[in-house]
Structure 1
């Protein structure tokens, strides 16, 4: 049986509910006060507190590296590394980039920066020379930590493409006109590189004087000071550098742990890259604050390794992007591992259809599948499902507004629309970014009067604080004056039994301005074309929303965090591929 399209069904339900309410309808504004107060502490202070409360609890497990640390050992290693950074000459406020997949040294380095007063900069491990040069210069990075290699990526050699005379410098004394701020390179390797320090050596070089200096620095770090820079995923244009504070990050982690019912003894399998706001805050910092264990199956996402880690480590929860769950479902159908410990699966970063949520629950033997909504500029999760929420809300919405945040939905003129009416979502609260690093103009574009952040998302807010994502305003297709949101079409098409994954984009059209084109990944041995799509959609959505074009592909261009780069799909169409 074909399930109702989530967006269309939710709208009809809202219309029915509002028909019985008095007129005029209330403005679409909601404030979630929260039952627990916000905390005023740094991320480093949270680590110390967790080590004190849960010293013997397992903090992290990196399965591929076969490395495990309890909270007491984690604090000890982080303190040593932070003092080592100080020994290298790094000062509070300096930017330290981490250019790597999910290795233990990534986890340790980020926490060490929070204790030494540095600003960690998460870089996509797939970045190539020009992208690295742009990122390092954008935020004036002084030091970079990286592995020797990962898959076909050799990091030191890539640096040499933008710093040709790299081997001429001594460790800690890089002097390059193309990246003038960069002074120090740290490589996690047994081998030596002429201009770089070994990561393990940095952990061991601190003196008593460095340790004392670290304590003084820690005592002076303001929770409102910057802790991390998130580069936007770059699905359109050059990435912006989102600056986040200790205060926004740790409070988001704490309140997400509360919503997930994470406690000491819980075991969270984190699939998202640590450089991404979901992996860093919603997974890593929520587990850290709760005394729970973070399980990292492999440096890069691998479905089979993940399923084995869930089974072997008895994971109680899992966090991943929708595209990752698609791969997990396909792999589990083949492996059929005895997964029976999961309490819920959390997802976000892209839209989820009801059919998709059903598949995760059934194939991965997961009682609850919780979807959420969040962005880097808001320190991660902003709306998320509740574990005790209704099945109806789980299928229809992206959850409830998070504690201590305000939300409102406005029209094109900035006027608040009534509850249940689509418009642009604006959010205000503790989690809002400090701004885009070195780019006041871009910051002013998204930060409105009164501290409201403009998300750029077409959104529906209910009176009870639950939300429904209609789509990105920038992704909206305007066909002959009619507004079309790709997500509505995607939610319908994914219910087709032969379609595994689908994404809709707008493509140029001389007569209508734009038309919808759907890119599909279909089941083996099946066929799909525009006529079959049209027949399937007939009677389920308005005729003008039915995609005119259909392209079947074997895979989609994606960021490492699992987001499909829709602008590349448009480019593929325009090239006639």
Structure 2
């Protein structure tokens, strides 16, 4: 058993501590403006992710852990742990050592979950890779994190994992399983398919699990890992375009999923939770999947990729009581339900996260989906996941106007350009300090130092206001990132590609307001004299070189970009012209 505090033993004491903790948190203020510290309703758990998942499995062995509707598969907690342990032992037998990286480059499926847990149980680090990455993006990820293994998926209608990987790694087709020797990627030795298809040079998950059913050695491997070690790597966009690889610790993941899960009511009864977000995303993997597995909830995977009809069908057919998703996903759900008519949706909780959510949408979710409690969450990959989150008792008005209350065991402050705290209610940059902050960016000490100060405060790059009672409100973003439907997109990467077109002199990619996605990508280009450039030309130029969600849907043409005296392009003025309809 994991070490637990006496406050866990009786309902009376836990209730007392909860209310005392919130009162204490409200007292830990300063006279120097926007600062808040929440000491937490319970002590931090000092354990590894593998240990706490095993504890849940031993507590609820026969309970369904994952229901994959599109695969028509159901797996209990006991079965999930056994498969994960067998995979972990198989990887160790193939030469993986503590701290080696296993990339998860596949869609939502049970195999993804087994891969993630197998890695953590064996002391490896899972790297969560976007399944729609094209060759250039995948190449960067493999080299950046020095992947030793890569999990792919069965071929889907629009996703041929093996075909794309074979083009990148031609040695794969003639390689023996687990013995890949690639000149461009010397670290990569193993490719695993999470599904049922067989490919040359690729091991199947089932074969690895079946060949290592005697998985007793997993205990030995688990003892090598400490709570301070790295657990997961989340890839997050930077302003340069190349993803930054944020390494989160076991302590960060274990506690963030625990406290976040309590605020999502994952610990109450036996909730059935529908996952709308992709599992490579922090909302899908940490806030939903791992948080559910920490608390013994059942996770429902409706479809391999995002599909609003499948999500709604699963919520109804599987009798889901909780769902999580981005604002865009809820807009799609509202539209779908409106056309479908009366449906047996009985959601107790709906969490909106991953991008700023409008107050109007929060109210629509509450009213039109008849959800008992709508909740909001704000976080970053660099802070494991959650920094602010609604409390269960928060009113619709509070949820609509804020991103929630400060996370347990977390310090937040809002500062001006000089780093001084601003008055409560005044906008500035949000900074965060606590157990939840990442260890750092993988193999990038310079960027780590830019993001995390020596005193432990992490720059979010987001513009916030903070209230005296610990609630945050996002005002905008200081960093040059566009959030389209919950996906973080770096404009420079797209601009650099557009600028390679022979007819494009220069380009700027702007995020413009979109009712469904929150922001849509708009490419604003300057053309060589006499040239023409159409939206189809733009798409053709980017196709196969960028993930589809990064390709701009809107095209505008300008003769000159507005600039400062020093020659710096003023993106905000371009955006103002577009928003006002003048461009």
Q: What interval of TM-score do these two structures reach, taking the shorter chain for normalisation?
A: 0.7 to 0.9
* Root-mean-square deviation (Å): 3.0
Identify the residue that residue 336 of structure 2 maps to in structure 1. 331
1:162-205 deviation digits (Å, cap 9, x = unpaired): 12232222111211121111111112344432211122101112
Identify the residue that residue 124 of structure 1 maps to in structure 2. 130
1:121-150 deviation digits (Å, cap 9, x = unpaired): 111110111111110000100011111312
Distance in 2 (alpha carbons) for counterparts of 1:190 and 1:370: 38
8 Å contact kept, 2:337–2:343: no
Identify which of 229, 233, 236 aligns with 1:229: 233
Identify the residue that residue 534 of structure 1 maps to in structure 2. none
Identify the residue that residue 224 of structure 2 maps to in structure 1. 220
Question: Alignment partner of 1:243: what SS?
Answer: strand
Identify the residue that residue 433 of structure 1 maps to in structure 2. 438
Identify the residue that residue 386 of structure 1 maps to in structure 2. 391
Distance in 2 (alpha carbons) for counterparts of 1:60 and 1:399: 29
Identify which of 284, 290, 296 aligns with 2:289: 284
Q: 1:454 to 1:462 in 2, by over 3 A?
A: same
Q: 1:73 to 1:463 in 2, by over 3 A?
A: same
Identify the residue that residue 53 of structure 2 maps to in structure 1. 47
Identify the residue that residue 363 of structure 2 maps to in structure 1. 358
What pairs up with 1:394-543 in 2 under 5 angstroms? 394-475=399-480, 518-520=512-514
Identify the residue that residue 147 of structure 1 maps to in structure 2. 153
1:470-528 deviation digits (Å, cap 9, x = unpaired): 0101359xxxxxxxxx99xx9xxxxxxxxxxxx9x9xx9xxxxx999845469xxxxxx
Distance in 2 (alpha carbons) for counterparts of 1:133 and 1:340: 42
Distance in 2 (alpha carbons) for counterparts of 1:306 and 1:52: 30
8 Å contact kept, 2:362–2:374: yes
8 Å contact kept, 2:153–2:195: yes
8 Å contact kept, 1:339–1:365: no
Q: Does 1:374 align with 2:357?
A: no
> Normalization by structure 2: what TM-score?
0.78
Q: Does 1:96 align with 2:79?
A: no
Identify the residue that residue 572 of structure 1 maps to in structure 2. 555
Distance in 1 (alpha carbons) for counterparts of 2:315 and 2:32: 45
8 Å contact kept, 2:111–2:195: no
Distance in 1 (alpha carbons) for counterparts of 2:32 and 2:197: 65
Identify which of 260, 272, 276 aligns with 2:277: 272
Question: Alignment partner of 2:330: what SS?
Answer: helix
CA shift at 1:563, angstroms?
Answer: 12
CA shift at 1:87, angstroms?
Answer: 2.2
Distance in 1 (alpha carbons) for counterparts of 2:225 and 2:453: 29
1:89-115 deviation digits (Å, cap 9, x = unpaired): 211111011100101100111001001
User: Is 288-297 or 135-144 further displaced after alignment?
Assistant: 288-297
Question: Alignment partner of 2:556: what SS?
Answer: helix
1:413-432 deviation digits (Å, cap 9, x = unpaired): 01111111111000000100
8 Å contact kept, 2:315–2:345: no
Q: 1:142 to 1:317 in 2, by over 3 A?
A: same
Identify the residue that residue 304 of structure 2 maps to in structure 1. 299
Question: Alignment partner of 2:316: what SS?
Answer: helix
Identify which of 28, 31, 34 aligns with 1:28: 34
CA shift at 1:385, angstroms?
Answer: 0.9
Identify which of 349, 355, 358 aligns with 2:354: 349
CA shift at 1:57, angstroms?
Answer: 2.0
CA shift at 1:258, angstroms?
Answer: 1.2
Question: Alignment partner of 2:108: what SS?
Answer: coil
8 Å contact kept, 1:78–1:109: yes
Q: Point out where structure 2 has 5 or more consecutive residues left out of the alignment.
A: 1-29, 496-507, 517-534, 560-582
1:526-566 deviation digits (Å, cap 9, x = unpaired): xxxxxxxxxxxxxxxxxxxxxxxxx9xxx9x9xxxx9986x
Distance in 1 (alpha carbons) for counterparts of 2:291 and 2:266: 8
8 Å contact kept, 2:354–2:378: yes
Q: Does 1:240 align with 2:241?
A: no
CA shift at 1:155, angstroms?
Answer: 1.1
CA shift at 1:568, angstroms?
Answer: 4.3
Question: Alignment partner of 2:303: what SS?
Answer: coil
CA shift at 1:280, angstroms?
Answer: 0.9
> Normalization by structure 1: what TM-score?
0.79
CA shift at 1:73, angstroms?
Answer: 1.8
CA shift at 1:337, angstroms?
Answer: 4.3
Distance in 1 (alpha carbons) for counterparts of 2:54 and 2:510: 52
Question: Alignment partner of 2:374: what SS?
Answer: strand
Q: Point out where structure 1 has 5 or more consecutive residues left out of the alignment.
A: 1-23, 477-485, 491-502, 509-513, 523-550
Q: 1:207 to 1:420 in 2, by over 3 A?
A: closer
8 Å contact kept, 1:25–1:418: no
Question: Alignment partner of 1:444: what SS?
Answer: helix
What pairs up with 1:309-324 in 2 under 5 angstroms? 309-324=314-329
8 Å contact kept, 1:25–1:419: no
Q: 1:518 to 1:363 in 2, by over 3 A?
A: same
